[in-house]
């Protein structure tokens, strides 16, 4: 194979046609400016596809080996700004020189040629949690510990320039329980398509529901659809379903036959959020409204629907035994500089007669960055979490149904290894029983 043929092939791959006039200096002494291949050779040299020889010559008529050709194909494969037509030609050349490319460490199976369209992230995560809740007689504390080990995979596949398909797969095991108890499980937590356009995005499927109150009301997954409009001021619309069996109400309800009915019923949800957050402004804030309805809410008026932290307190959902929850919220935040932030949020369920509102205020300093060793952060704040409002609120160190102080910190001892610790100290909202939580986590990210 002659170098002149190589020039024609690689020119087709890289620039489509040798039609651009270059102002750069002549890269090779034996390719004058009036040579028919001058433009193509100059571009290929500038792109690093060809190197020439040590004496600054190109030697275009010299025979080359398949190995040398494979080197040029490998460099062309590394380019990303190529048309679909050129990409098809690259794939054909890669198939022709696959043995030589494999020897160069460039694997070109059909799956791997398209590997750039599928990206995998994941982590291994160990979490320890210890709850200490004062008993009803206030003569001691009931202690509950858990040790959870999680392995997570998060694939993301490109469909086209605007759409991707995303998923989350969690495998969990509980180290504080004997094996074979049936608690180990693998769960498809999320699977959804996401479309991103200028000032517009949408999600369809089962996706994360983490609303702007920073975990005060929703920190879970929902099935349905979400659309978001705007740039600095964004409006988001939600519609779909939630599993009440994963809610704080179910976690806190005394486990009787009631909870079985509650677990099996899903809740329809519709919501709207309006949030301002601009890189040019230190101030952020917004408002939201969420409507849920489920027959499961009606069951909460029964005499057995007691809060395990607030004994004797029966959940009530309006005088008319409503099957609805109507929650509105406000949030506000301010960034003092690149390291400090204060934030607060308030939410209320207008259908509930008790445990009907939640609020929180926090100060955050810096934050651990997984990619940067020795980075760290800390926070302190106060939370008041009404069970009937923080239906799906974050439950790390927080205890829904309680009020109290919380502090935490995170640190990156090694790249992609993050350790976190949190401590909550408070009381039941209506029972005034002491409640503490010690929570720790180590993430190994990949």
Each residue of 119-173: pLDDT tens digit? 899 999 999 999 988 887 777 888 889 999 999 999 999 999 899 999 999 999 9
Write down the pLDDT at residue 52.
Answer: 63
Among 14-23, 306-315, 334-343, name the one with the lowest average pLDDT. Answer: 14-23
Q: Is 87 exposed, middle or buried (0-12, 13-18, 19+ CB in 10 A)?
A: middle
Over range 332-341, report the average pLDDT.
92
Q: Is the pLDDT of residue 31 over 80?
A: no
Of 63, 74, 100, 96, the C-alpha closest to 14 is 74
Banded pLDDT at 16 (limits 50, 70, 90): very low
Domains, the chain, with CATH or none: 3-113 (no CATH), 117-445 (2.40.160.10)
Tokens 């926070």, residue located: 379
Q: Is the pLDDT of residue 1 over 50?
A: no
Q: Is the pLDDT of residue 259 over 90?
A: no
Write down the pLDDT at residue 264.
Answer: 58
Banded pLDDT at 417 (limits 50, 70, 90): very high
Write down the pLDDT at residue 418.
Answer: 98
Among 40-49, 316-325, 393-402, name the one with the lowest average pLDDT. Answer: 40-49
Q: What is the mean pLDDT of the chain?
A: 81
Residue 374 makes CB contacts below 8 A (sequence gap 6+) with: 411, 412, 413
Q: What is the pLDDT of residues 264-303, one digit of tens each?
A: 578 999 999 999 998 889 999 999 999 999 887 776 655 5
Write down the pLDDT at residue 47.
Answer: 62
DSSP 26: P
Q: What are phi and psi of 218, to 5 degrees?
A: -130, 125
Of 5, 12, 8, 7, the C-alpha closest to 88 is 12
Write down the pLDDT at residue 128.
Answer: 96
SS3 101: helix
Rounded alpha-carbon distances, angstroms, from residue 315 to 137, 384, 394? 22, 17, 20
Banded pLDDT at 27 (limits 50, 70, 90): low
Q: What is the pLDDT of residues 74-133, one digit of tens each?
A: 777 777 666 666 677 677 777 777 777 776 666 555 445 455 678 899 999 999 999 988
Write down the pLDDT at residue 144.
Answer: 87
Over range 340-364, report the average pLDDT.
94
What percent of the chain has a predicted confidence (pLDDT) above 70? 70
Q: How many CB atoms lie within 10 A of CB 39?
A: 18
Over range 251-260, report the average pLDDT.
54
Banded pLDDT at 306 (limits 50, 70, 90): low
Write down the pLDDT at residue 94.
Answer: 75
pTM, full prediction: 0.71
Q: What is the pLDDT of residues 209-247, one digit of tens each?
A: 999 999 899 999 999 999 999 999 999 999 999 988 777
Write down the pLDDT at residue 111.
Answer: 45
Of residues 319 and 310, the one with the higher pLDDT is: 310
Rounded alpha-carbon distances, angstroms, from residue 35 to 41, 69, 92? 10, 22, 28
Q: Is the pLDDT of residue 332 over 60?
A: yes
């Amino acid at each position: 194979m002659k170098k002149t043929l190589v020039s024609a092939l690689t020119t087709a791959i890289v620039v489509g046609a040798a039609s651009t006039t270059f102002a750069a200096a002549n890269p090779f002494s034996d390719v004058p400016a009036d040579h028919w291949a001058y433009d193509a050779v100059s571009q290929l040299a500038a792109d690093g596809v060809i190197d020439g020889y040590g004496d600054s010559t190109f030697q275009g008529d010299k025979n080359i080996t398949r190995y040398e050709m494979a080197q040029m194909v490998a460099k062309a494969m590394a380019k990303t700004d190529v048309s679909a037509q050129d990409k098809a030609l690259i794939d054909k050349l890669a198939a022709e020189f696959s043995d030589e490319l494999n020897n160069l460490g460039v694997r070109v199976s059909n799956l791997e040629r398209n590997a750039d369209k599928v990206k995998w992230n994941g982590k291994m995560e160990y979490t320890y949690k210890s709850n200490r809740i004062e008993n009803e007689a206030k003569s001691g504390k009931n202690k509950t510990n858990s040790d959870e080990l999680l392995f997570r995979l998060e694939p993301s596949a490109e469909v086209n320039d605007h759409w991707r398909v995303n998923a989350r797969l969690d495998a969990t095991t509980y180290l504080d329980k004997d094996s074979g108890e049936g608690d180990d499980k693998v769960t498809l937590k999320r699977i959804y398509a996401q479309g991103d356009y200028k000032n517009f995005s949408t999600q369809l499927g089962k996706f994360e529901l983490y609303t702007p109150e920073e975990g005060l009301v929703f920190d879970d997954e929902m099935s349905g659809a979400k659309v978001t409009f705007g740039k600095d001021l964004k409006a988001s619309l939600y519609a779909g379903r939630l599993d009440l069996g994963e809610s704080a109400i179910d976690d806190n309800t005394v486990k009787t036959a009631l909870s079985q009915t509650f677990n099996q019923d899903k809740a329809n949800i519709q919501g709207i959020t309006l949030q301002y957050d601009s890189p040019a402004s230190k101030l952020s804030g917004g408002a939201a409204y969420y409507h849920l309805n489920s027959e499961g809410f009606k069951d909460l008026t029964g005499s057995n629907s007691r809060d395990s932290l607030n004994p004797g307190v029966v959940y009530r959902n309006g005088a008319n035994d409503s099957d609805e929850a109507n929650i509105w919220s406000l949030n506000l935040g301010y960034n003092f500089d690149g390291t400090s932030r204060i934030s607060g949020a308030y939410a209320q369920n207008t259908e509930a007669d008790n445990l009907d509102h939640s609020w929180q205020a926090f100060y955050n300093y810096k934050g651990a960055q997984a990619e940067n060793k020795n980075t760290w952060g800390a926070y302190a704040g106060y939370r008041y979490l009404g069970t009937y409002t923080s239906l799906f609120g974050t439950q790390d160190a927080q205890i829904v149904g309680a009020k109290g102080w919380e502090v935490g910190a995170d640190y990156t001892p090694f790249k992609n290894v993050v350790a976190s610790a949190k401590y909550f100290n408070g009381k039941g909202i209506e029972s005034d029983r002491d409640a503490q939580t010690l929570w720790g986590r180590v993430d190994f990210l990949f």
